Chains A and B, each alone.
Chain A
């Protein structure tokens, strides 16, 4: 079966514009995660969905960031009024296991966002 897919693979936008990033997890995976990876840095945990619910949104960097998930499937990460510091690779992962401490997360290839 297909792995985690993300779209677009690359996005270049102008400062102040809104962007929407999409993640299609592996079918049947109940848990979905969003991360941000700045150049040369480790992954930064943003948010976690169990089903369609995100129990804790405090990892989102600012109120310009929002995320939703529908149908226990596709998820979108929206960044409003983008800033240059938002430039990064945004990674999505899914897991068949319901708990955060469960082991294996399957990552997508990421969306590279560049804000000019």
Chain B
């Protein structure tokens, strides 16, 4: 069964405490893996797209990596404004997007 699983469901960090979010997938024919940030009451905001194993992308304190089975979103020295729900999505064969249920990140000052 094609699915995307994100862990942990929730993560509480102190400001400056680096960590990683995981997105594992069992989707046939990966055509792209996407990371989004979603703030309460708003639509998701695009962060990264990764297309092949070994690929990495960075944006400010965030770095996304991809293997054949999973992706990690590394957050370095997070700030309170990084608090949000982070969503992972995979585009597989048959033109279907599969979203994980997200990791809710809370960064305390």
Contacts and interface: CB of A to CB of B under 8 A. Distances in A.
Interface stretch (A14-22, A39-47, A67-75, A79-87): A39-47
Interface stretch (B12-20, B59-67, B68-76, B94-102): B94-102
B108 interface: no
Given A48-B95, A100-B31, A108 B100 contact: no
A42 B99 contact: yes
Q: Is the interface of A mostly helix, strand, loop or mixed?
A: loop
Nearest to B49: A103
Size category of the binding interface on chain A: 20 to 34
Contacts, number: 59
A93 B46 CA distance: 11
B80 interface: no
Interface residues of B, number: 25
Nearest to A48: B95
A101 interface: yes
A106 B91 contact: no
B49 A45 contact: no
Contacts of A43: 44, 87, 89, 97, 99
A20 to B, nearest CB: 19
A65 interface: no
Contact of A103 (B32, B42, B87): B32
A3 to B, nearest CB: 9
A93 B91 CA distance: 15
Contacts of B44: 43, 91, 93, 107
Interface of A: 4, 33, 35, 40-45, 48, 55-56, 59, 91, 93, 100-101, 103-110
Given A43-B87, A101-B91, A109-B42, 6 more contacts: A42-B6, A93-B44, A100-B95, A101-B32, A106-B46, A110-B42
